[in-house]
Amino acid sequence: MPQAETLSRPGAQIETEIKYLVPTSRINRRFWAPGAEYNTGVYDFYPATIRNARLRESPPTLDTDGFCLARHETQITDFADAGQLKAYPAEVEAVAKALTGCDFIYPMGGQLRSPVIDAAGIQPPAAEAHVDFNTPTAQIIARRFYDTLRPDGPGFERFICFSLWRALSPAPQNWPLALCEGPSVGEEDSISNYKVDVDVIPTGADLFAPIEGEEAMLAATIFKYSPGHRWWYFPDMTRDEVIFITFHDSDHARAWRSPHTAFHDTTRPDATRRTSYEYRAIAYFEKKA
């Protein structure tokens, strides 16, 4: 009888490279125009050891690391079906409540990602070390969305901007998600990357011309390399597993953010093309009477 096909096994760690902002990159903006995007930041690849979090003696937690793995059996069968996805925010809220103890979430929306863009609405994996918001942006949108959702509410004492990420393609995936322990990253490594909405992407010197009020614009955080950054990943993700990624926890006594990035895993010859879905939201902890 022919032997059953077996998958390659992940190792304890991967020696690879992660894309970081170079120290000499001075003006860091993301220009967004209809159907186009341009990032003025200058990046390069730096060596990184990404360890297998499934083998860690104590699993990563939100409070100590800024990310964690959880099991969640979704009822969504097609993440490209807008009709089915109407039910997904309730699933995200249930996971967030179970993991954080929050009172409710504000749903911000989701994104399908794949290394090969073969359908509308799919974006490539984000392939540089980043967090989706900087601190001022997180504070602004948390207040704005709470006031929209609960204008007569008692207010909140804490919030967490987060993403719930899941792989949709079979294991092993060729572009896994790497996550960095929040406490291993210092403010000296952190740079704001401002989002500039335009009708047409500028060119030449106009890309770097002064912009009035730029520091008040919404921004992500990008990172410079440090050998002290501690990176992890969860190999062989299944459809019913999710990674909770903290973008910003207003309680800075905890691991209040986790830089993350996709990376190309070349150690698994049987890897499949990664397709994933991420959903961004804000978890709120309301003030008690």
Q: Which of 165, 166, 161 is nearest to 106 (CA)?
A: 161
pLDDT category at 62 given cuts 50, 70, 90 is very high
Residue 207 lies in a domain: yes
Q: Is residue 246 part of a domain?
A: yes
Looking at every residue in the chain, the average pLDDT score rounds to 93
| Cα dihedral: 143, 149, 154, 159 (round 10) | -50
CA–CA distance, 200 with 87 (Å, rounded to integer): 35
- Residues 182 and 246: beta-carbon distance below 8 Å: yes
Residues 6+ apart with CB under 8 A from 6: none
Instruction: Specify if 1 maps to a domain.
Output: no
Q: What is the Cα–Cα distance from 86 to 222, expressed in whole angstroms?
A: 31
Residue range 107-122: mean pLDDT, rounded: 78
216 alpha-carbon distance from chain centroid: 22
Question: How many distinct structural domains can be found in the chain?
Answer: 1
DSSP 8-class letter at 224: B
**Cis ω before 115 (30° cut-off from 0):** no
Q: Is residue 118 part of a domain?
A: yes
Rounded to two decimals, the pTM is 0.92
Tell me: pLDDT of 11 over 90.
no
Q: For residues 115 and 203, is the Cβ–Cβ distance under 8 A?
A: no
Pairing of strands 130-131, 122-123: unpaired
Tell whether 3 is covered by a domain.
Answer: no
Residue 7 counted as domain residue: no
Among 11-25, 32-46, 170-184, 250-264, name the one with the lowest average pLDDT.
32-46
Look at residue 1 in the predicted model and tell me its pLDDT: 37
Neighbours of 263 (CB within 10 A): 24
Range of the domain at 64: 13-286
CA gap 182, 253 in Å, rounded: 11
> Residue 206: pLDDT band by 50, 70, 90 thresholds?
very high
Residue 229's nearest CA partner among 251, 258, 267 is 258
pLDDT tens sequence across 158-191 = 999 999 999 999 999 999 999 999 999 999 999 9
Please give the average per-residue pLDDT across 57-74, as a whole number. Answer: 97
49, burial (CB in 10 Å: exposed 0-12, middle 13-18, buried 19+): middle
Using the predicted structure, report yes or no on whether residue 148 has a pLDDT greater than 50: yes
Domain-embedded: residue 2: no
Task: Please report whether residue 5 resides in a domain.
Answer: no
